[in-house]
Amino acid sequence: MASGPRPQYRFIDIGANLTDPVFRGVYRGRQLHQDDFDAVLRRAAEVGVERIIVTGGSLSESKAALHLCRDQLTAGGDRQVRLTCTVGCHPTRSSEMESDPAGYLNSLRQLVEANRDLVSAVGETGLDYDREHFAPREVQMRHFRLVSLACQLRLPLFLHCRASHAEFRAVLSEFASQLPSPPGVVHTFDGSAEDAAELLAMGFYLGLNGCSLKTADNLRVVSGLPLDRLLLETDAPWCEVKPSHAGHSHVTPSSRFESRKAERWSPGCMVKGRNEPACILQVLQVVAATLGQPAEKVASAAFANTCRLFGLAEAAAPSTVEGDN
């Protein structure tokens, strides 16, 4: 897709892993093509993405996300897409917290407090019982208490839940009276209608991406969700809307970008299998069709919902990223 008239929609991608080396052309330690990060942002802007919340999946990744956001804020030139980020520790990385839980948590706190203008949420945090080979469930449960940081700092939570709804809900219920209002978003939501109802009753928003729209059952759940509690995301470079997914039939030619394998990449192309924030347009198309609503209405609602949840505001004056010692 080339540059053209003003985008039809306004988007905020609530979750993109932009610190991943693939956005610099590096795959499994090998440089397969030139750094095309700026092109990724340009494509996002062309479809109407105004802001991207970069996911912080660990202490080191949160620092990298903050540096990326600060560099983008202070750089000259085109800044059509504003970057903010989350600060946290993904459940599959929670073993990192084992040796010094208090110190790790305090380091996250310092990052947030030193960079409040760039931090939109505490997270990623949660439970993932599908991938216990990275961190056993008892370790994940111990460090899901990262929820307490959001309560203390009065920031929304950016949450991950996979194959663990009962325990996930139980932990959040413990903190119910302390959580900020609204409390946050369960991103990449792919649970049941019953799971959704319980989370919505607790005040949470639900983030939808390609992994939320894989199966006919997923689409049935999404069809019953309230429009005023949905957010849109890509989880790039993961969770693309694949041709094998149940919702892919709703993806129109207007949102299909030219792509090539990383080894054969050329400027102007996407990379096959590497999801990008611009592909949020495909998520919109599938969600709108599933809800039976005009895409304009869904995009507008998701944008307003995101602003309401994260209290997005203009950044303070640029400074260096602090708290990374």
Neighbours of 254 (CB within 10 A): 11
Beta bridge partners of 53: 84
- Between CA 257 and CA 266 the distance in angstroms is 13
Q: Which residue has the tokens 């759940």?
A: 221
Q: Which amino acid is at 231?
A: L
Q: Is 217 annotated as a binding residue?
A: no
Q: Which residue has the tokens 């991938």?
A: 131
Q: Which helix (H) or strand (E) holds 159?
A: strand 157-162
Question: SS3 for 226-263, per residue?
Answer: CHHHEEECCCECCCCCCCCCHHHHHCCHHHCCCEECHH
Q: Is 160 annotated as a binding residue?
A: yes
CB 199 within 8 A of CB 206: yes
Q: Is 124 annotated as a binding residue?
A: yes
Kindly state the tokens that stand for 131: 């991938």
Beta bridge partners of 122: 87, 157
CB 212 within 8 A of CB 282: no
Q: Are strands 26-27 and 30-31 parallel, antiparallel or unpaired?
A: antiparallel
Q: Which amino acid is at 223?
A: S
SS3 category, 212: helix
SS3 category, 57: coil
Q: Is 263 annotated as a binding residue?
A: no
Q: Which helix (H) or strand (E) holds 265?
A: none
Binding site, annotated residues for a divalent metal cation:
124, 160, 187, 235
Binding-site residue positions: 124, 160, 187, 235
